[in-house]
A = this chain, B = another copy of it.
Amino acid sequence: MNITAFIGSTREYSNSEMLADLVLKGIPYQNLYIKNLNIQPIHDLRHSKNGFKFIDDDYDQVIQAFLTSDIVIFTTPIYWYSMSGIMKNMVDRLSHAIRDERFPQLKEKLQTTEAIVLAVGGDDPKIKGLPMIQQFQYIFDFLKMPFTSYIIGEANRPGEITKDEHALTQATLLNKQLIARIKT
């Protein structure tokens, strides 16, 4: 089972990344640090005569992660009540990617790629993060990706996620469930 965690934070070892580590403890996986990738914003050319133009940046790494993973984990701090801007730019580019002739298999592949969301915020995230969860649902619905679980953690200062017992408990359970699936 291949797993990729897209890391949407701009901090070193952010609270959301720590949460992903807990969920994936003892499980082989790769992190893709969005902040380290050069990802251009989408240029919406869906309706222009020649369609999208080739963009020479690191986005192919994102596409490869989607193509080779059984599970992708959108790991993001909650900035201003939704995913970070760098993760949003990554998501926006999917409009181009699913039309990219170089990856004709992407659209179908996504339909069996399981999505998990791990998000950590500081301002009442278990309430104010809910519209973001609804948006992820719409995104995964559109792509027909199965959205199997999400965890919202609360933290402000670096490392503070370790005090959110509810998030930790859910992360531990999700970890146990993933390990059980790997073994079978």
Q: Which residues of chain A have a CB within 8 Å of any CB of chain B?
A: 9-11, 14, 35, 41-45, 47, 77, 79-86, 88-92, 94-95, 123, 126-128, 130-135, 137-139, 142, 147, 149-150, 156-158, 165-166, 169-170, 173, 177
B44 and A135 within 8 A (CB): no
Q: How far is it, in angstroms, between the C-alpha of A43 and the C-alpha of B45 when the chains are bound?
A: 29
Quickly give the copy total for this chain: 4
Main secondary structure of the interface of A (DSSP, over half): helix
Distance between Cα atoms of A157 and B147 in the complex (Å): 23
Query: Which residues of B lie under 8 Å from residue A177 when comparing CB positions?
Result: 165
Interchain CA distance A133-B124 in the complex, whole Å: 13
Closest Cβ neighbor of A39 among chain B residues: B85
Q: CB < 8 Å: which of B44, B88, B158 contacts A10? A: B44
Q: How far is the CA of A91 from the CA of B79 in the complex (A)?
A: 9
| Closest-CB distance, A20 to chain B (whole angstroms) | 17
